[in-house]
Structure 1
């Protein structure tokens, strides 16, 4: 019996045991096609309503389906229907969006459904938006829809008063006109709104599953997408298998005219997707270990680690030795910004008094970005001037930051505001008490380099530094609770408009997406003004918001990384996407003749 036959028998047997309705598997995925990958940091579960962990999002994208998705090859990015039959019908100048959902899409079998097949409906998308809005969930994604849907915020305000969100209460702006028709009415015109609905957290969720698993939901994701969770060892191993009931699709994307796209079309056109039957993901935080795992063939593709750049690249070209092995190189620049987040609620470094602002400004001016790019990223990054990156609406290539590396001026600033040096060369607080700048760090070799850079830079201005080492998930938890001093982070665009980055410092998002816990009336006013405009009219306000960030320093903006993706010759169809992170359903594994 073939592996495919065994796979099908197992699927059908599982349906029979659960008492579910038997159905022939739809997915074209081949169980003997296994994709082996690694994450450089751990997830924190897969309930995206409660987290924005990048690695959690990678898995969730393969399981949950929003109404819309992105064309795989098109650049600039283009939205296309996903579970919706077509792009939405737009009325009232961008205030009313109506979606027709495809019939015959089913959630994966789960005990929550008590042996019955559960079809996707318009109400599932309404429920997902309700969960995002429920104050109990403290969702970092709520900012994407805060104040935008007619009647929703009134329900949120009521829940804050009563302590309970009424999931059965009607919402004027969220209506299931029938089983498959969803209508969303906004408080104001917003032609950017479809991009928000394409974000993974707005993927359909079944209410029965949420109520069945409760607090364990993050380890039991149930969606309608191409893959389902088969094994999960937190902070160690994640395994996905093809969803046997997934409807599949034909790989029919159009080349943008690049040689890479042309080759992808040649390899993949006409294939029934997904082809990969299993995705194995290992958590490998140490860069050298991950590089060795790729070189030895344990990983099918991976981002080139910074410390391996000299071993793999000559400039922007792959070294001949790797080319001879058939290894391929794809390079891109993510629509991202890296930054050091400063907790504005911290009693030592937070607040808006002039001495606190001076301390943060001095720290920002002490950091040598050029040295960081050279040592930390081996030259594979560019200095960011704005908090909105290239490739995102609102970015201005002519904008220049008012804060630059200047340790001489940083020293004078600290002297001016009473941060005096002691006999040991380190400064105290203006009141004479000890001062130490404390960073959250991970245990990777990259973080060791980052710690050394920060210590060297801060020593030069007389500031003592401490580095508290933990793991990514725990550091994120501390940041979400505003219980830290400084932490280096990054944000990759969820949708291609500056609002996605601006909301990270919006006051009402404090303790959610706004991990700096920054609350500035001036910034918040600019943010709300920007949202009232069309996206193309927001650039001047985004620039003013950027200047406000430079004045208050809740962030120290870093660089944008250049990504070099390496893949072994058996991998076909891969292309990094600016918005989608898990592209496994578009990839194939083919044996290579040696």
Structure 2
């Protein structure tokens, strides 16, 4: 009760501060995150909302054009797109001079210019065991020469990671150029360098000065600086007046609404960003978040939950009473999956034998995705037949598979065939050896999780399987997942680049414990995954991706439920907004005209 009162007081204070800022003539964007952030250190970020904030503070060498469809890369702090060798194993980035970090006492009162060594240091931090980087597997999969060995030496000798030891795979060539060399060809490696929350430049002096507290004191070269952070409650950022600057240069695609195309043309050449301040509340319950938007306290609501989305856009069109207020609405697919994974090391649902595979496939067939899609997700999703999501290379919209099928009769037949039957006559199935069979599913306590639990209970009861739910916070479940202590957990996964490799990597054996939560390890799959990763885009790569996906469909280490749709609503004052899932931070490109 006390926690709720404190949260309400914090939100009220946030509104008061927002109104005061607006009264002072500032352009203040106000909106809310539905889940708390964890911190703003690129070497430690694993969640979407920390990533969103960090992308405004830090800058990567490259970025995606905000309005382009399909996604298209362009230079950011780099002077041009990188030089890439013919075998896709050597990459050279050249930076623009005259880019500076935000102020920090570690710089001794001097302006600190961005140099190539800052990117070398920032990338090495992912290998430092001290930071436990959730992004490490992306670099290790590429095989940056010498860095994994340096990490293993630090672990074996129990010594601090040695940032000063030269390695062949990552080095600065001069003040403004740095080079990467890979053990294997990776034609899409450059996409990693468009994510500021992963490849953002970090100053070594600041990290060493802040130590373990670096996630609370982010200092980057981007347009925003963190001025207030109350963990899990409120985040405030202000535009850096000393930012090196950028001008609006977006071109809307030909199929974009005429108003958006006209606006992009009208804004061409404007100085960015156009906002002065961004104020973010953390409101985990959907109803108060929706009411805050309806009351005009927020300028935007992203990913409107299913029940409210159905009210706001009945039949896919903005409700008349909302349209009369001039509200804006967008609905778009996301490069995402919502899935349930099975821990492959678990003695009940894990393993590669025929009976365990049959159990997982039967559970997957018993899940009524259409009912879940409509009742729990409010129609805000597309049924999934595979792992590779829309908007990413390799997605096959025509694919139909067992993954997207609800067939209770087939599920029961599979269990009967492999001996998962009711041995003792109590109405519930037991394991083939007669031992009790009980599924354990990790859950959170929010309303959506409770609704999903009801569906799981209904689906498994129809199959004759007991299921119980282990309730914890998302952070606690993540910790237990990484420690291999969960049997089943429902999680989402979203691509940060427009390529299906992100989803196939969920089954890659060396990623177990990080980007492979089920711990699936199958040599045949790993060979296919590595092969497709080395190929340029084209028919040969698509064939390898589809073959790899078929193995995941057959062994079912994870049941993909849906690909999510996003419904976003904005007040009339917000101009220039357009969801781009590969641009983690949109603040730079929008304006408020109240």
The runs of 5 or more residues in structure 1 that have no matched partner are 1-29
Structure 1 partner of 2:154: 159
Whether 1:452 aligns to 2:447 is no
1:467 aligns with 2:441: no
Q: Secondary structure at the match of 2:531?
A: helix
The corresponding residue for 2:415 is: 414
The match for 1:329 is 329
- Once the two structures are TM-superposed, the CA of residue 278 in structure 1 deviates from its matched residue by 1.6
Superposition pairs of residues 20-169 of structure 1, within 5 angstroms: 32-146=26-140, 147-164=142-159, 165-169=161-165
- Alpha-carbon distance in structure 2 between the residues aligned to 1:482 and 1:462: 26
Give, in angstroms, the shift of residue 336 of structure 1. Answer: 1.4
Deviations along 1:69-111, one digit per CA (max 9) or x if unpaired, are 0111111111111111111223344333222212222222223
TM superposition shift of 1:350: 1.9
2:204 aligned residue (204, 207, 216): 207
1:149-192 C-alpha deviation (Å, 9 max, x unpaired): 23333333433433343211112232211111112233344331
Alpha carbons 1:339, 1:490 under 8 Å: kept: yes
Q: Counterpart of 2:382 in 1: which secondary structure?
A: strand
Asked if 1:180 corresponds to 2:182, the answer is no
Instruction: Report the equivalent of 1:479.
Output: 481
> TM-score scaled by structure 1?
0.90
Q: Quote the residue 1:255 is aligned against.
A: 252
Q: How does 1:506-585 map to 2 (within 5 A)?
A: 506-536=508-538, 537-585=540-588
**Cα offset, 1:267, TM superposition:** 5.9
Q: What is the rounded CA distance, in whole Å, between the counterparts of 1:43 and 1:514 in structure 2?
A: 22
- The aligned counterpart of 1:21 is none
Indicate if the aligned counterparts of 1:73 and 1:261 stay in contact, CA closer than 8 A: no
For residues 70 and 111 of structure 2, the distance between their equivalents in structure 1, rounded to whole angstroms, comes to 38
In structure 2, the residue corresponding to 1:58 is in which secondary structure? helix
Pairwise CA distance, 1:410: 1.5
Structure-2 separation of matches of 1:214 and 1:433: 51
Mapped partners of 2:533, 2:153: distance in 1: 24
Tell me, what secondary structure is at the counterpart of 1:337? strand
CA distance in 2, matches of 1:508, 1:31: 53
What is the match of residue 300 of structure 2? Answer: 301
Contact 1:43 1:473 in 2 (8 A): no
Structure 1 residues 213 and 432, CA, compared in 2 at 3 Å: closer, same or farther? farther
Cα contact 2:129–2:155 (8 A) shared by 1: yes
CA 1:418–1:196 in 2, change beyond 3 Å: closer, same or farther?
A: same
Deviations 1:222-251 (CA, angstroms, capped at 9, x unpaired): 211111222222222222222232122111
Indicate the larger mover: 421-430 or 177-186: 421-430
| 1-structure distance, mates of 2:590, 2:486 | 40
Is the aligned partner of 1:219 residue 2:219?
A: no
Partner of 2:365: 365
Structure 2, gaps ≥5 residues long: 1-23
Query: CA offsets, 1:171-219, max 9 Å, x none?
Result: 2232211111112233344331211211231111112222222222222
Please give the alpha-carbon distance, in whole angstroms, between the structure 2 residues aligned to 1:63 and 1:539.
36
Residue 141 of structure 1 deviates from its aligned partner by 1.7
**Partner secondary structure for residue 145 of structure 1:** helix
2:7 is aligned to: none
Q: Is the 8 A contact 1:95 1:189 kept in 2?
A: yes
Deviates more, 1:507-516 or 1:404-413: 404-413
* Number of residue-to-residue matches in the alignment: 562
- Contact (CA 8 Å) 1:41, 1:283: kept in 2 or not? yes
